[in-house]
Structure formats: C-alpha cells, structure tokens
Amino acid sequence: MERFGAAWGSAATLRPNYAEVVVETLPIETPIDSPIEQRRIELASGLRTGAIKNIQWIKQIEKRKEGQRHAHAIFSMDSREDANELLTGRVVVQGQVLRAKKNNPDPKRCAKCNTLGHIAECCKVDNDTCVRCAGKHRTSTCQVTDQQLFCTNCRKAGHGAASRDCPVFQGKLRERSKWDAERNYRLFVTKDPNTWGRMNEPVQEDFNQRWRAKVSEKYNEWTTVQRGKGRGRLAGGEPGEGGGNNTWKDPGTRTPTPDPDTGNRGQSRGP
C-alpha cells in the first residue's frame, strides 16, 4: 500500500485495507481466522504466501439463519495486485471453487428509521420506521404481507426500504460512483492496463484507442486527484478523451504532473 501511494504521489488518499474482496459462499466451518487455513487458501488459489491479510465473515455469526451452511466473507488482501489475482483467478476454499468480487459497500441505511444515508447511531428521529411497510413500528412487529410492501424512501408500494431496486437506492449508488471512481472498475486499478476495464465490460474495451495509446505510452505519469468530493483519478490522458466515466471527470481538479527531475513519478512495480 505504501508503495502504491508513493507511485501515485503524496496527494493520494487511499483507504486502509481498501483491497477488499468478497468471496461468496464459504462453508461456515472454514476456520477463517487461522493463518494455516489462510496459507492453505493461498496455495489452492495460486496466490503468493502472505497475500491474504485477514478474512472476516460479512454478517455476524449470530445473525445466520438456522441450517445455513455457507456465508460470504471479506478477504483483506496485502496489495491491490494480490486482490486482482484473487479476482481473476480461481478461488479455492475447502476444496470448493468460489466466486469473488470487489467489495463495493452499499450506501448506508439506518437500522432505526430505514432512511438511506446515515446509520442508527446518528439518527435524529424518535420513532422507528418499518423496513417493510414504512409504518411507525419496529420491523419485527410488522403485520403486512409481501403484497403490501411500502418503501419509506421513495414512498412507493411494491418493495420495502431494503430493496436494491428502489429508485432512491439506485440514485445513491450512482452518486457514489461519481466520487468513488474505483467502483466503476472491475478490478483494483493499478498501473497495469489490464486493470482498466470498467464494471460489466470486458477488460480493456472501454477506453478508446487514442486515449489508450497515449496512456500506455506514459502511464507512469499517473495523476492523482483528491477523492471524496466528486473527484477521481486520471491516468495520463486529457479530460474528455474518453478515459472512463465522464461523470467524474473534472478538468479543474488535476494536480500538477510530477516533476521529472525530482524523480517524483510512478515507479514501475516489482513482480
């Protein structure tokens, strides 16, 4: 992570443990905390030793359904490269080949009022709002049938506040993709052009030829821009040249290109 930060310039603000991968349906008996098991998974999945830093179940064990045999887990990887290996290779846990995807957290939803955008600890309303019918009661006491669902966020019938199909939820997701540029990419973006494929598109097919040629010619000159307020990262190309999602491109936010004389440029990575 430090090496990565150095390569992107000191302005880079990277979240710790950002290289998180969700691995789906691990057998619940997998001893995920055990370093021996972690080394076993690395070996079986063709990862280097030490690639896995930590594994955690996504949901609390107490919240599992009765008879549940499998659960999703978050793998915190040592580097973005390790995370990409996991995403593109065969993930093998306890002899089973499993699916892996980037950990892109959903917008927060309050456990008390079920509004999107804050958590219960920060909730400012006094009453509970039901996730199923938007009534002023706790979800656990809700009486409505699945045919009577009503969403407190978009104020429409047909789904509850936890639905991913809710237009308000979908709007929050789109909003987030604007400042969290990395979300738009299938892999963790590194200096390797193979990682520049966008979500739901084949690797490398999203950039136009001109932009890509320019970038591959001088992709060491990564420019890092501030994150968090509709800013993203740009690589080499000029804004508006088709390099990715235009919604997060902002010509006014580029930081100066690193000075070649100071050597403050992206270093090429070791193996």
> 127 is written with which tokens?
């009453």
Least distance (Å) between residue 180 CB and Zn ion: 22
Least distance (Å) between residue 175 CB and Zn ion: 15
Q: Which is nearer to Zn ion, 44 or 123 (CB)?
A: 123
Least distance (Å) between residue 263 CB and Zn ion: 50
Q: Which is nearer to Zn ion, 123 or 173 (CB)?
A: 123
Least distance (Å) between residue 101 CB and Zn ion: 24
Place of tokens 């491109």: 249
Convert 130-163 to b/e letters by CB count within 10 Å (16 or more is b).
Answer: bbbbbbeeebeebeeeeeebbbbbbeeeebbbeb
Binding site for Zn ion (CB under 5 A): 110, 112-113, 115, 123, 130, 132-133, 135, 142, 151, 153-154, 166
User: What is the residue-wise DSSP string for 187-219?
Assistant: S---SSGGG-PBTTS-TT-SS-HHHHHHHHHST
Q: Which is nearer to Zn ion, 96 or 148 (CB)?
A: 148
Q: Which is nearer to Zn ion, 7 or 151 (CB)?
A: 151
Of 185, 199, 193, residue with least CA distance to 214: 193
Least distance (Å) between residue 147 CB and Zn ion: 13
Q: Which is nearer to Zn ion, 33 or 106 (CB)?
A: 106
* Contacts of 230 by beta carbon, 8 Å cutoff, 6+ apart: 178, 179, 248, 250
Q: Which is nearer to Zn ion, 132 or 172 (CB)?
A: 132
Least distance (Å) between residue 105 CB and Zn ion: 18
Report d(CA 148, CA 154) in Å as an integer: 15
Asked if 191 and 198 count as a contact pair (C-beta separation under 8 A), the reply is no
Of 18, 36, 104, 22, residue with least CA distance to 71: 22
